[in-house]
């Protein structure tokens, strides 16, 4: 069975600092991996996805993630945090197109000035 | 504009009553999903449907029911058998036959039992 573990339910950074949100997954087949962002009382918006090919994936708003098969990880990074990045972030996995995504429990990112 | 519409945004229900949450999409997506979100729990899958007139239970289907009579619509009924229905409910869709593996989400419905 697939699963996702997000390390750290809450991450705090200063504006301009590096953002690192950690995600480890479990999958018996090559996975599809996703990062979503959620602002309060809203739906989820896709930040980026990994399907096949290049292991470093660039997304919207300056975020990127690297798929590391040997470490079963898909950590999300952004070189310089902005106040508008404060939100909840979810990592998700699926094993094939059309199957439901399995989500981690989420990480709340706080950004201070 | 294409998208997923969930209604209502806020819903209040008395204990013992059934309530139906609406989800409509005009993206021509084949697959649709219902998730429940509780603080600190992430998103948990309730039901999903990959094709009209067919659906499967997810991890927490007890106390819920769905139908998929039209490609565009996937309503969720929260029945009185659901012990703790207060939560944020999210509907999503995807288009695997079109090469889209990610899910697109609606804006959610917040259900409160009073």
**B45–A102 CB contact, under 8 Å:** yes
Average pLDDT, chain B: 93
Chain B residues whose CB is inside 8 A of the A52 CB are none
Decide which of B39 and A77 is more confident: A77
CB A94, CB A102: distance < 8 Å: yes
**B31–A98 CB contact, under 8 Å:** yes
Most confident of A4-8, B13-17, B78-82, B98-102: A4-8
Q: Tokens for A40, please give them.
A: 């309060």
**B42–A44 CB contact, under 8 Å:** no
Q: How many residues does chain B have?
A: 114
A83 φ, ψ (degrees, to nearest 5):
-55, -35
Q: B99 vs A5, A97, B21, CA distance in Å?
A: 27, 8, 28
Q: Which residues of A lie closer than 8 Å to B, measured between beta carbons?
A: 9, 32, 34, 36, 41-46, 49, 51, 90, 94, 96-98, 100-106
pLDDT (0 to 100) of residue A42: 92
What average pLDDT values come out for chain A (113 residues) when binned by 10 residues?
A: 92 98 90 94 94 92 95 97 97 85 96 96
Three-class HEC string of chain B: CCCEEEECCEEEECCCCCEEEEEEECCCCCEEEEEEEECCCEEEEEEEEEECCEEEECCCCCCEEECCCECCECCEEECCCCCCCCEEEEEEEEEHHHCEEEEEECCCEEEEEC
Residue B99 has pLDDT above 90, yes or no: no
Q: Per-residue pLDDT tens for B49-72?
A: 999 999 999 999 999 999 999 999
CB A36, CB A90: distance < 8 Å: yes
pLDDT (0 to 100) of residue A2: 85
Name the pLDDT band for B1 (thresholds 50, 70, 90): low
Q: Per-residue pLDDT tens for B8-22?
A: 999 999 988 999 999
pLDDT (0 to 100) of residue A28: 78
CB atoms within 10 A of CB B39: 10
């Amino acid at each position: 069975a697939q699963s996702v573990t997000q390390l750290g339910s809450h991450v705090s950074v200063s504006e301009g600092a590096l953002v690192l949100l950690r995600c480890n997954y479990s999958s018996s087949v090559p996975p599809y991996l996703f990062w979503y962002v959620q602002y309060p009382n809203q739906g989820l918006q896709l930040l980026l996805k990994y399907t096949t090919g290049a292991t470093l994936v660039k997304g919207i708003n300056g975020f990127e993630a690297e798929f590391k098969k040997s470490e079963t990880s898909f950590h999300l990074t952004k070189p310089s945090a902005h106040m508008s990045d404060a939100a909840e972030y979810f990592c998700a996995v699926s094993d094939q197109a059309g199957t439901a995504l399995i989500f981690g429990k989420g990480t709340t990112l706080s950004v201070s000035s | 504009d294409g998208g997923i519409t969930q209604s209502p945004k806020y819903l209040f229900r008395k204990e013992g009553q059934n309530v139906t949450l609406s989800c409509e999409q005009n993206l021509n997506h084949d697959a649709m999903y219902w998730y429940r979100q509780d603080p600190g729990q992430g998103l948990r899958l309730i039901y999903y449907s990959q094709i009209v007139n067919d659906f499967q239970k997810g991890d927490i289907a007890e106390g819920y029911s769905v139908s998929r009579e039209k490609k565009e619509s996937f309503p969720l009924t929260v029945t009185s058998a659901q012990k703790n229905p207060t939560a944020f409910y999210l509907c999503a869709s995807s288009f695997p036959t079109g090469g889209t593996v990610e899910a697109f989400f609606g804006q959610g419905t917040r259900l409160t039992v009073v």
